[in-house]
Amino acid sequence: MKKSLFVILACVLLLPSLEVNAVVTNSSQYADLKVYLFGEENCELCAEEKEWLQEYSNKENTVSFEYFDKTDKEELFKTIKDKLFSKEDDLPITIIGSNYFVGFNDQVKDKIKEAATAYNEADSYCDIVARARNNGDMEECLETNKEIYHSDESLPLWTTVGIVLILTIVVIGLIVSAVVMIKKKKENKNSKIIKNNNKQ
């Protein structure tokens, strides 16, 4: 009896000192996946998405959502923005794991559903918002989640740079070809004029 009491007392005393890791292991398909929505009071799309997320989370046993007014959670928003979407200023912004979606329309709804499915099917994932709330390492979240879900909306930087480089080379090639063709035409015209002058 004394041993049991000691173990319970030790657990109660040690429990508050444990750090929240924010890495979720999906041992059950009914573990809640948290979807976060950042919006503002006067944002019509934010209100629409908030209502849609409420309905969606009611239908899905595996999804819950939390709404943040950007002005009330400015520090948290800035921390996450600096890590995930530093160039985005539009609202609403939805975050699942470490993926984010800007705005709200049918395409964004589909992306949210796809991401929610992917995260729910993953063995584990990192909740970057929970990590940011606890001042944890968000880089680790990005690394943990990098293979879970990829949105088709944006290409990786190296792909974009490659495409721009290829297009630049093609345009330069076309310009050089046009200049060479113009020079050849002028040379042919000049050589015909010289031949005609020599005949006379």
Structure pTM? 0.62
Query: Residue type at 166?
Result: I
Q: What is the pLDDT of residues 154-169, one digit of tens each?
A: 444 455 667 778 888 9
Would you say 180 and 136 are in contact if contact means Cβ atoms under 8 Å apart? no
Query: What residue spans define the domains of the chain?
Result: 20-145, 155-200
Query: Residue type at 91?
Result: L
| Domain boundaries 20-145, corresponding CATH code | 3.40.30.10
42: left (phi over 0), alpha (psi -120 to 50) or beta: alpha
Q: What was the pLDDT predicted at 151? A: 65
Q: Where are the beta strands (DSSP E) in the chain?
A: 23-25, 33-39, 63-69, 93-96, 99-102, 124-126
| 10 or 110, higher pLDDT | 110
| 31 or 193, higher pLDDT | 193
Q: Quote the mean pLDDT of the chain.
A: 78
Q: Coil, strand, or helix at residue 169?
A: helix
In 38-156, alpha helices (H): 44-59, 74-84, 106-121, 128-133, 138-145
Q: What was the pLDDT predicted at 93? A: 93
Q: What is the pLDDT of residues 81-96, one digit of tens each?
A: 888 877 777 899 999 9
Q: What was the pLDDT predicted at 96? A: 92
